[in-house]
C-alpha cells in the first residue's frame, strides 16, 4: 500500500506543480500558493471527515509546524522557477524533500529490508537523472538559492507530517493546510502583495490546490500506516511527472537521460514495493 500511495502522491504533486509553475510565471508566488490552498483546505477537511481520526494534540502541533514550512516551501519553489528555471530548482527541491524525511526515519530507528535499501538508492539516482537539464542559462545562483530553501522547507514539512500517529487521521493535514494558508495571507499583507491570483487564473489555482491536497492526504495515510522512509522514496517520481507534462504541453525538451532517470526511479520504487 505504501508504494501505491506514494505513486498517488507523485501524480498529484507532479500535476499540481506543473500548474503552480504556470501560475507563478503570471502572478506572485505567494499569491499563487495562497489561492491553491483555499481549495486544498476545503478538500482536506472533507477527506478528514471520511477517513477516521481523532484530534490528538501532539499531531495537531506537528501539523501546524508542517503547515508553516510547506506554505513557504511551495512559494520558494515557484518563485525560483519563475526567476530561474525548473531545471535548476526542481532537482534540488525534490532531492531534499525526499532525503530529509528518509534520513530522519532511518536515524530515528527505522529499518528497511535489503531490497528496499537497494530500491531507495536506485530511486534517488533516478530522481537526480530525471530532473537534471543543461538548459540552465545565466540564473543558476538564484535557482539554487530558492531550490535549497524550498527543499529544506518541504523536507521538514513532510517529516513532521509523517511522524503523526494513525489515530490522528487526516486532521494534522487539515491543520497543515489552514496554517499554511494563514501564514501566506499574512505574508502577502506584510509585503503589500495581492492575496490571491487574478480571477482568470483561479481555475488552475483551484485545480492545483485540489491535486496537492489529495497528494498530501495520500502521503499522510501512507506514512502513518507504514514506513516514513519507504513513503518518502515512493514519492520521488513527482518531478518526472512535472517534466513529462512540461515536455508534452509546453514543448520543453526532455533529454534521454531524464527519461532513463524516470524509468530508473520507477524501478527503484518497484523494488521497495516488492521488499
Which distant-in-sequence residues (6+ apart) come within 8 Å of 160 by Cβ? 62, 63, 65, 66, 69
Q: What is the overall mean pLDDT for the chain?
A: 86
The pTM (predicted TM-score) of the whole model is: 0.87
Is 70 exceeded by the pLDDT of residue 203? yes
Q: What is the pLDDT of residue 271?
A: 75
pLDDT in tens, 84-111: 766 667 777 878 888 898 889 888 887 6
Let me know if residue 102 belongs to a domain. Answer: yes
Report yes or no on 252 lying in a domain: no
Q: How high is the pLDDT of residue 134? A: 62
Range of the domain at 35: 2-112+136-232
Confirm whether 245 is domain-assigned: no
- Give the mean pLDDT of 234-244: 80
Angle at which helices 202-225 and 140-162 cross, to 10°: 50
269 occurs within a structural domain: no
Asked if residue 247 is part of any domain, the answer here is no
In a domain, 265, yes or no: no
Confidence of residue 130 (pLDDT cuts 50, 70, 90): low
Higher pLDDT, 50 or 79: 50
* pLDDT, tens only, 53-92: 999 999 999 999 999 999 888 888 878 877 776 666 777 7
Is 48 part of a structural domain of the chain? yes
pLDDT at 178 over 90: yes
Average pLDDT over residues 131-158: 78
Question: Is residue 271, in this structure, part of any structural domain at all?
Answer: no
Give the pLDDT score at 164.
97
**How far is CA 19 from each of CA 121, 204, 208, rounded to the nearest angstrom?**
29, 6, 6
Residue with the bigger pLDDT between 166 and 254: it is 166
Number of compact structural domains in the chain? 1
Amino acid at each position: 500500500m505504501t508504494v501505491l500511495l506514494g505513486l498517488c502522491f507523485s501524480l498529484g504533486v507532479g500535476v499540481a506543480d506543473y500548474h503552480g509553475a504556470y501560475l507563478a510565471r503570471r502572478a506572485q508566488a505567494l499569491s499563487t500558493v495562497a489561492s491553491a490552498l483555499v481549495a486544498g483546505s476545503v478538500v482536506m477537511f472533507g477527506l478528514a471527515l471520511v477517513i477516521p481520526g481523532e484530534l490528538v494534540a501532539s499531531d495537531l502541533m506537528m501539523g501546524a509546524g508542517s503547515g508553516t514550512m510547506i506554505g513557504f516551501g511551495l512559494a520558494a519553489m515557484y518563485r525560483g522557477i519563475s526567476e530561474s528555471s525548473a531545471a535548476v530548482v526542481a532537482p534540488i527541491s525534490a532531492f531534499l524533500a525526499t532525503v530529509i524525511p528518509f534520513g530522519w526515519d532511518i536515524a530515528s530507528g527505522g529499518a528497511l529490508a535489503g531490497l528496499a535499501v537497494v530500491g531507495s538508492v536506485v530511486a534517488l539516482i533516478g530522481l537526480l537523472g530525471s530532473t537534471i537539464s543543461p538548459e540552465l542559462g545565466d540564473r543558476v545562483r538564484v535557482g539554487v538559492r530558492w531550490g535549497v530553501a524550498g527543499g529544506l522547507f518541504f523536507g521538514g514539512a513532510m517529516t513532521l507530517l509523517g511522524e503523526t500517529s494513525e489515530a490522528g487521521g487526516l486532521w494534522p493535514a487539515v491543520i497543515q493546510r489552514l496554517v499554511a494558508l494563514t501564514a501566506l495571507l499574512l505574508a502577502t499583507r506584510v509585503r503589500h502583495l495581492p492575496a490571491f491570483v487574478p480571477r482568470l487564473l483561479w481555475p488552475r489555482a483551484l485545480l492545483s490546490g485540489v491535486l496537492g491536497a489529495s497528494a498530501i492526504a495520500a502521503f499522510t495515510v501512507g506514512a502513518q500506516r507504514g514506513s516514513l522512509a519507504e513513503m518518502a522514496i515512493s514519492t520521488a517520481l513527482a518531478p518526472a511527472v512535472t517534466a513529462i507534462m512540461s515536455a508534452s504541453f509546453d514543448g520543453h525538451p526532455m533529454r534521454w537521460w531524464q527519461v532513463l532517470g524516470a524509468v530508473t526511479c520507477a524501478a527503484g520504487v518497484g523494488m521497495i514495493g516488492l521488499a
